[in-house]
Chains A and B, each alone.
Chain A
Amino acid sequence: MRQKLVEFRNVSFRYDDDGPWILNDCSFTIYENQSVAIIGHNGSGKSTIAKLMNGLLFPQKGQILIDGKEVNAQTIWDIRKDVGMVFQNPDNQFVGTTVQDDVAFGMENRGIAREEMMKRIEDTLTAVGMQHKRLSEPHRLSGGQKQRVAIASVLAISPKLLILDEATAMLDPKGRQSIMKTVSHLHEQDVMSLVSITHDLEEVMMAEWVIVMNQGEIWAEGTPRDIFTRKDAFHKIGLDIPFVGKLTEALRRADVSITEEPLNHEELLEALWTFHSKT
């Protein structure tokens, strides 16, 4: 069994004392080295979860544990060493005048020795494919390049958990794919848990585990295959289902029986092939 890395125990959160609950009694666990996608409509509480994980917000009820430590005002500085976060808008997260300064910033704050810093800058920029830009000014980069630098800056502090909060939402399809490739490559290489908060169904398919949020509550949890079998309910909570799911459903309505839940084109074509051989 894998070690628990993040644990939410009956967590509730609201911004104002008399405001509505943004999160309501949420409990879930994320394990070491697991990749998890959190999905839900706007306002479902997904981003709040991310902010609670590294102590940008604190819950009014319940407990959050990161690597066994409870997140509170005393522990946040330790916890932020373990939890790195990349936000949606790449322009809001730069401080350095060059790419390498920017990657160095997080490490400087943690008092990492210069030699070690040099090595990590080299390693992380190489990992995200941006070493050739280490002396460039961040604002001259494309959106996708900026996000890769932002990821490198977070990786440089070698977090146990990397949170991507809609980190690809502002990118074009090419930029999005390159980030997804970079991230899944990193996830394969290092021992690191990955939480991506996203609307992008392709990103969801790549995760090992999916948490679906609806109106501040955990609506469902499971593997992508489990989750996407619940198509009708998905529409009700304002989420889209992938093309393959829609077509599978339409085929079933047309009496083409497909027993397993296909996740991609190849699986659906295979299922059609099987059906066609039986006909």
Chain B
Amino acid sequence: MDISFKNVSYTYQPNSPFAHQALDDVSFSIPSGTYVAVIGHTGSGKSTLIQHLNGLLRPTTGTVTIGDFVMSRTDKPKDMKALRSRVGVVFQYPEHQLFEETIAKDIAFGPKNFGVSDDVIKQRIDDILPTVGIHHDMLERSPFELSGGQMRRVAIAGVLAIKPEVLVLDEPTAGLDPRGQRDVMDMFYSLHKKEKMTTVLVTHNMEDAVKYADHIIILNQGKKYLEGKPETIFSDEDTLQQVQLDVPEVIQFLWKYEQKFGHSIPYNRQSITDIAQAIKEHIKEVGNDE
């Protein structure tokens, strides 16, 4: 499903002393099947933006369109449930939302609510378990006996079980150890590739954004500050530093390399091995010239 935001603003508690504008005239469009990363600091409006994607919030002004669903201050889709069955949101610390007696019941809760039959749910659970790395034997155990990392995977399985077309991820790796982080991110990436799922990753981790996303949107104080391809968005050091965003370490290093050696190695998401090769070739070249 294509996603488009047209001049979207959102104000919490409008017309009151606590009024707070969280989104300010934000426009962008995400074609179906894209992996997009939304980056910004705490308070930049990321979480408010997410809640527009499945109709938890509707814009104060402007229009949000998700596939055929159109939302504005006055327009509300008749079938909000249909929208929510197609946009799966993995909120921060999703394991806090586990509640059922068994893992199987917890995963089944979402699809059951959307009227999916028990047989189909069972089939879906069988498909999802290997993806999230949860063993079949564990299905009848309580989700509360699991480790933090496992609990997160079960919670994610619950979202995947509704078979969403759009998957929204709000800081999905917060609090996991480095291997857990990599596993979870790789899992979402392969789902994105395999199922052609439109993926919206909300993060303050620049490294992940650069590694996985096709398109990056940077929010700052409720406004869209920059957007573009990961290769190009980091070309302007000053612009990024104004919003105090962390430039991925590899790019920082390449900038410093250029300063020291007067030679630029452009970043286009090449692997560390390729970067090492480029450095070696450059150093050799200089050596031969002298």
The interface of chain A, by Cβ under 8 A from chain B, is 41-43, 88, 142-143, 166, 169-170, 172-175, 199, 238-240, 243-244, 246-247, 250-251, 253-256, 265-266, 268-269, 272-273, 275-276, 279
Please determine whether B256 and A42 come into contact, CB atoms closer than 8 angstroms: no
Contacts of A268 in B (CB 8 A): 253
* Given known A254-B276, A255-B280, contact A41–B246 (CB-CB < 8 A): no
Contacts of A143 in B (CB 8 A): 42
Please determine whether B177 and A199 come into contact, CB atoms closer than 8 angstroms: yes
Please determine whether B177 and A254 come into contact, CB atoms closer than 8 angstroms: no
Shortest A238–chain B CB gap in Å is: 4
Contact with A along B165-202 (1 / 0, CB 8 A): 00000000011111110100000000000000000000
Contacts of A169 in B (CB 8 A): 174-175
Please determine whether A272 and B279 come into contact, CB atoms closer than 8 angstroms: yes
Please determine whether B287 and A247 come into contact, CB atoms closer than 8 angstroms: no
Contacts of B284 in A (CB 8 A): 279
- At the interface, yes or no: B260 with Cβ under 8 Å from chain A? yes
Shortest A136–chain B CB gap in Å is: 16
Q: Quick one: closest A residue to B205, CB to CB? A: A173
Q: Quick one: closest B residue to A173, CB to CB? A: B246
* Given known A239-B179, A243-B253, contact A43–B147 (CB-CB < 8 A): yes
Please determine whether A240 and B253 come into contact, CB atoms closer than 8 angstroms: no
Shortest B281–chain A CB gap in Å is: 9
- At the interface, yes or no: B236 with Cβ under 8 Å from chain A? no
Which of B42, B180, B246, B284 has the largest count of A CB atoms less than 10 A from its CB? B42
What are 19 residue pairs bridging A and B, where the CB atoms are less than 8 Å apart in the complex?
Answer: A41-B177, A142-B43, A169-B175, A170-B175, A172-B42, A174-B42, A238-B177, A238-B179, A239-B177, A240-B178, A243-B250, A247-B253, A251-B280, A253-B273, A254-B279, A254-B280, A255-B280, A256-B276, A266-B256
- Whole-angstrom distance between the alpha carbons of A175 and B283 in the complex? 38
Shortest A241–chain B CB gap in Å is: 9
Please determine whether B175 and A88 come into contact, CB atoms closer than 8 angstroms: yes
B283's partner among A43, A238, A256 (CB-CB below 8 A) is: A256
The interface of chain B, by Cβ under 8 A from chain A, is 41-43, 147-149, 174-180, 182, 204, 244, 246, 249-250, 252-253, 256-257, 260-261, 272-273, 275-277, 279-280, 283-284, 286-287
A279's partner among B148, B179, B246, B283 (CB-CB below 8 A) is: B283
Contacts of B257 in A (CB 8 A): 269, 272
| Known interface pairs A41-B178, A239-B179; 13 further A-B residue pairs with C-beta atoms within 8 A, sorted by A's residue number | A42-B177, A175-B42, A243-B249, A251-B276, A253-B276, A256-B279, A265-B252, A268-B253, A272-B279, A272-B283, A273-B261, A275-B283, A276-B286
Shortest A13–chain B CB gap in Å is: 17
Contacts of B149 in A (CB 8 A): 42
Contacts of A88 in B (CB 8 A): 175
- Whole-angstrom distance between the alpha carbons of A131 and B249 in the complex? 33
- Whole-angstrom distance between the alpha carbons of A42 and B178 in the complex? 9
- Whole-angstrom distance between the alpha carbons of A142 and B244 in the complex? 17
Please determine whether A238 and B178 come into contact, CB atoms closer than 8 angstroms: yes
Shortest A243–chain B CB gap in Å is: 4
Shortest A20–chain B CB gap in Å is: 13
Q: Quick one: closest B residue to A234, CB to CB? A: B178
B256's partner among A43, A240, A269 (CB-CB below 8 A) is: A269
Shortest A114–chain B CB gap in Å is: 36
Contacts of A41 in B (CB 8 A): 177-180
Contacts of B148 in A (CB 8 A): 42
Shortest B104–chain A CB gap in Å is: 24
* Given known A41-B177, A243-B250, A276-B287, contact A256–B280 (CB-CB < 8 A): yes
Q: Quick one: closest B residue to A268, CB to CB? A: B253
Shortest B244–chain A CB gap in Å is: 6
Please determine whether A250 and B273 come into contact, CB atoms closer than 8 angstroms: yes
Shortest B220–chain A CB gap in Å is: 12
Please determine whether B179 and A240 come into contact, CB atoms closer than 8 angstroms: yes
Contacts of A173 in B (CB 8 A): 204, 246
Which of B177, B249, B275, B279 has the largest count of A CB atoms less than 10 A from its CB? B177
